[in-house]
Amino acid sequence: DAGVIQSPRHEVTEMGQEVTLRCKPISGHNSLFWYRQTMMRGLELLIYFNNNVPIDDSGMPEDRFSAKMPNASFSTLKIQPSEPRDSAVYFCASIEDGATNEKLFFGSGTQLSVL
Amino acid sequence: SQQGEEDPQALSIQEGENATMNCSYKTSINNLQWYRQNSGRGLVHLILIRSNEREKHSGRLRVTLDTSKKSSSLLITASRAADTASYFCATDGGSYIPTFGRGTSLIVHP
């Protein structure tokens, strides 16, 4: 298996633009997580899906952020409009068993820079 | 909010020495996990310890868990330059949702 695949690897955009980050979880995994990593705040959980359904989105910073999981093999995280403070590395991770959430498999991340 | 916090924030040692990192957390857990992150990469799972376990080993890694003190430690024995990375603990706050601390940055000098 190729592991969790994220795209793009790097994204540079200007303030106010829409940004869409993409994630393909490992086949057969039924839970998917989006995290954001910054030096100041560390690794923050944004949203968690189980069987394609959002279970906990309390970490989503504000209404500018939205996430979808239309099917078991694809998820998107959208920021509209983007702001410089959104600059961070965004990670997607999946787990085989959403009941216990043991052993997350992470993608390589998307480095987002908002100018 | 972050459930676990690692200590120290940074650790610098010589190859061959042991490295010990600690994790403290706030609420009861079902399990605690340790992950490793190399620069510019995603996190990789190292080891999981359940709330009813006190110690676990995997190769050169030894993890302990003290639920009465709400703390865990990760020991890397006979460190190598390739162990240079950031190490994170993840706790689930009893909800099975893994949340991470800010990590310990380990540098092993050859």
Convert the pLDDT of each residue in A40-77 to its tens digit: 888 999 999 999 999 989 899 889 999 999 999 999 99
**Extended strands (E) in B15-103:** 19-25, 31-37, 43-50, 55-58, 61-66, 71-76, 85-91, 99-100
Inter-chain residue contact B41 with A109, CB threshold 8 Å: yes
Give tens-digit pLDDT for B65-76: 999 999 999 999
Residue A90 contacts residue A112 (beta carbons within 8 Å): yes
* Residues in chain A within 8 Å Cβ distance of B35: 104
Residue of B nearest to A37 (CA): B102
The nearest CA of chain B is from the CA of A59 a distance in Å of: 8
Mutate to test the interface with A, among B45, B51, B87 (most CBs of A within 10 A): B45
The pLDDT confidence band at residue B94, using thresholds 50, 70 and 90, is confident
Give residue A100's pLDDT.
73
Inter-chain residue contact B100 with A42, CB threshold 8 Å: yes
